[in-house]
Structure formats: structure tokens, C-alpha cells
Amino acid sequence: MDRDATADVNAPHSMGTTIIGVTYNGGVILGADSRTSTGLYVANRASDKITQLTDNVYICRSGSAADSQIVSDYVRYFLHQHTIQLGQPATVKVAANLVRLLAYNNKNMLQTGIIVGGWDKYEGGKIYGIPLGGTILEQPFAIGGSGSSYLYGFFDQAWKEGMTKEEAEQLVVKAVSLAIARDGASGGVVRTVTINSEGVTRNFYPGDQLPLWHDEVEAHNSLLDILNASNPEPMST
């Protein structure tokens, strides 16, 4: 086997990824694709990159899967202790600052970008972007992962203040499907998590239900369907 190919197969599990967090009028919606890769090999085509920290706070993970998972585990543990001591749920800002603290203090060892989103009774729905290096940015929307480079212009045009929950959900699904179409490291299904005063709702969008973009081929059931579509008239002898 070629040496370069061997290096790719044995590379660490990473998430060439598209992750999104969007605020709307009443809460936040987080979204992500589901492709986890090891070099050029797709290790998991249906992974869940939206992880629960508390009842009201979730994170989207990108970069090294191992790094993002260990950060999630530590922050979940610290938030549990925090909740016991205070006797009430942690705010989104507290959760985001814990993620920021771990990411910044270990920036030479971690390769992960994270979006923290949630709802609390003090500030409502909040989104915080925490990219490589541990910077923390409160934003009305945040995008991350390899697919984000295809989405900045789209979000500048499509995002607006005061969106309804339905509008925000459609925006997230449309954006992730667009990144899947353009970014080879993003793929699979689309998962979303909606967090507001009423609680948390998870949604799942299979790949065959996502919108198609330019140059994408519509799914067919069999090779015969493809041949019939390209040659609708029977051949004459």
C-alpha cells in the first residue's frame, strides 16, 4: 500500500464539518452535518455532532472528534457541580466561558472549534462561537467547520433579525445542505436542536430529503432508473 494512503487511513478521527448556531425570536437553533472522517476515509456517516451540556445548553463540535468530546465531558462535569452548588441551572454564558477557559488554557494541544448555544431565563437565547485558540464571541449566528467557508456570504444575505422558529429552522437546514453540496468533508444527514423557554426539540433530516444544488444528481433507486432517465426512448434496430 502506498505510504501516503496508509497515513491517511491511520490519521486521527476528525470532523471535516459544518456546524451552525442561529438565534431567532424566542430561542436558538443549532445544526450540523454528520460526517466523521479519518484522513480520506469516512469513519462514521451518521455521527451526532450536537452534544448536550445541560438541560438548556448544547454545543456543536468540529475539528478533532476526540478533542471536542473531552472538552464536552469536562464542561458537562463542571456545570453539574456548578448547578448543585447554586441550586439552579447554569446560564449559557457560564457554559460558554467554561468551554473558552478549557480551549484557551489548552490551545497548544486542542484542535477543535465549538459553538455553544442555549436558552436561560436571564438573557434568553444566546449563541457563542469559540474557534481554535479559545477566543469567545457572542454572535447572532455562528458557523464553523470546513463547510463554513462556503456559507459566509449566504448568511450575510439570508440571516435577519427577529426570525420565527420555522424561518430559522429552514435557514439552518438549507445552509447545512448547501455546505454538504460544496464541501467534500461534510456529508450525511442534517441534525438540528431547538432550545427555547419550552424546552428542547431535536429534528432529523435524511440526506434524500435535503434540497439539491447546482450540479448535484438526484438520487435514483437503481442503475436501471438512471439508464431509463437518460434514454427514455427504446432503441430501434
Residues of the chain with pLDDT under 70: 1-15, 214-227, 229-237
Active centre residues (catalytic): 17
Residue 111 CB-density burial (10 A; 0-12 exposed, 13-18 middle, 19+ buried): middle
Whether 25 is covered by a domain: the verdict is yes
Q: Given this model, what pLDDT does residue 201 score? A: 97
Whether 227 is covered by a domain: the verdict is no
Count of residues in the chain: 237
CA distance 171 to 126: 17
Q: Given this model, what pLDDT does residue 98 score? A: 97
Beta bridge partners of 127: 117
Check: CB of residue 24 under 8 Å from CB of residue 196. no
Check: CB of residue 64 under 8 Å from CB of residue 205. no
Contacts of 229 (CB under 8 A, 6+ apart): 220
Whether 224 is covered by a domain: the verdict is no
Count of domains for the chain:
1
Q: What angle do CA 33, 35, 37 make, to 5 degrees?
A: 150
Lookup result for grid cell 437518460:
230
CATH number reported for the structural domain that contains residue 100 in this entry: 3.60.20.10
Whether 237 is covered by a domain: the verdict is no
Instruction: Name the maximum alpha-carbon separation found in the chain.
Output: 84
Whether 158 is covered by a domain: the verdict is yes
Q: What pTM does this model have?
A: 0.84
DSSP string, 146-188: GGGGGTHHHHHHH--TT--HHHHHHHHHHHHHHHHHH-TT--S
Lookup result for grid cell 423557554:
197
Q: Given this model, what pLDDT does residue 212 score? A: 75
CA-CA-CA-CA torsion sign (81, 87, 89, 94): negative
Whether 226 is covered by a domain: the verdict is no
CA distance 208 to 38: 24
How many angstroms separate the Cα of 91 from the Cα of each of 13, 19, 219?
Answer: 31, 22, 43
Whether 44 is covered by a domain: the verdict is yes
CA distance 58 to 53: 5
Phi, psi torsion values for 216, nearest 5 degrees: -80, 145
Whether 46 is covered by a domain: the verdict is yes
Q: Show the domain range for 20.
A: 3-208
CA distance 126 to 141: 9
